[in-house]
Amino acid sequence: MEYLFNDWVYIDKKIRERRNIMLLCDYDGTLTPIVDRPELAVMSEGMHKALDRLVGRKQFILGVISGRALADIKERVNINGLIYAGNHGFEIEGPGLKFIHPLADELTSVLRLISQVLHKAFKNMRGVIVEDKGMTVSVHYRLVADAQLPEVHSKFESIVTGARAMGKIRTTDGKKVHEIRPAIAWDKGKAVNLIIEKYIPQQRRNNLLPVYIGDDRTDEDAFKVINQYGGISILVGREGQASVAKYYLNSPEEVGTLLVELYKIGLGG
Ligand SMILES: [Mg+2]
């Protein structure tokens, strides 16, 4: 993994060579700083402006792919003309594109039930936030005291273990969060694939450079697909961190800097 701006001459050239740049970004920890409570994750004004300006450039196709519910991510980003993928891509919406995974609906009733049990189980436990996002459920424990963590993990395990064994759900671990989703072979990588195939006409695809920026484990699937397309995969993280991404940036602030630089290229500057 190389620091993105160390290789800027090469990337700048690559971008100028292609007529279409598809830039897909994760939201939390990529476009916003990581915060203690998910509802507080807000894009800076500068980030919002940088994204909004890029959407206006014909050369760029922009999208946000998040673990959040589609409605939530749309409201938070609040920019027209963007592709939005919610719940890791179970639901995707953009200009001329609408997709809901056919099996996801069926399994939401199972998730409702688990969500109710989790709410009850963690009601009296300080710092645990159970977030029901429709097609996925997250249990955040960033605010939980260290001594209580084993209890959080074992309670969580005992609640999800049955449904998981029956093949109804999958669980994954992110940054201080347990996540539950329907057991469908679906991830951010498949979402990226679907967006490219359904959204980009064949004649534009040949001239396409896909770029993906993300900070978490669920973004690794997207990096893999981007690499297969010969695109630019960027981890927001640390040098030497285990990732299949080809490049890294240190912070969401640097993502903002990248968006501004891309805009300048779009101007022919
Ligand atoms: Mg993230």
pLDDT value of position 269: 47
Distance of CA 23 from the midpoint of ligand 1 (Å): 15
**Same-domain pairing of 95 and 190:** yes
Category of 176 on φ-ψ map: left (φ > 0), alpha (ψ -120 to 50) or beta: left
Count structural domains, the chain. 2
Long-range CB contacts for residues 78-83, cutoff 8 Å, separation at least 24: 78/48, 79/48, 79/51, 79/52, 79/55, 80/55, 81/55, 82/51, 82/55, 83/24, 83/195, 83/199
Helix axes 188-199 and 220-228, enclosed angle (nearest 10)? 40
Distance of CA 202 from the midpoint of ligand 1 (Å): 30
**Same-domain pairing of 127 and 88:** no
Which residues form the domain of 237?
2-101+186-266
CATH code: domain of residue 35: 3.40.50.1000
CATH code: domain of residue 110: 3.30.70.1020
**Same-domain pairing of 154 and 111:** yes
pLDDT value of position 87: 86
**Same-domain pairing of 97 and 203:** yes
Domain closes at, from 157, 182, 207? 182
Distance of CA 239 from the midpoint of ligand 1 (Å): 17
**Same-domain pairing of 90 and 200:** yes
pTM: 0.81
Q: Which residues are catalytic?
A: 26
Distance of CA 82 from the midpoint of ligand 1 (Å): 18
Per-residue pLDDT of the chain (269 residues; tens, 9 = 90+): 999 999 999 999 999 998 899 999 999 999 999 888 888 889 999 999 999 999 989 889 999 999 888 999 999 999 999 999 998 898 999 998 999 888 877 788 889 999 999 999 999 999 999 998 878 899 999 999 999 999 999 999 999 999 999 998 999 998 899 999 888 878 899 999 999 988 887 777 888 999 999 999 999 999 999 999 999 999 999 998 999 999 999 999 999 999 999 999 866 54
Domain closes at, from 164, 182, 200? 182
- What is the maximal distance between C-alpha atoms in the chain? 58
**Same-domain pairing of 212 and 246:** yes
**Same-domain pairing of 111 and 97:** no
**Same-domain pairing of 224 and 168:** no
Count Cβ atoms below 10 Å from residue 184 Cβ, excluding itself. Answer: 17
Distance of CA 157 from the midpoint of ligand 1 (Å): 23
Domain closes at, from 126, 148, 182? 182
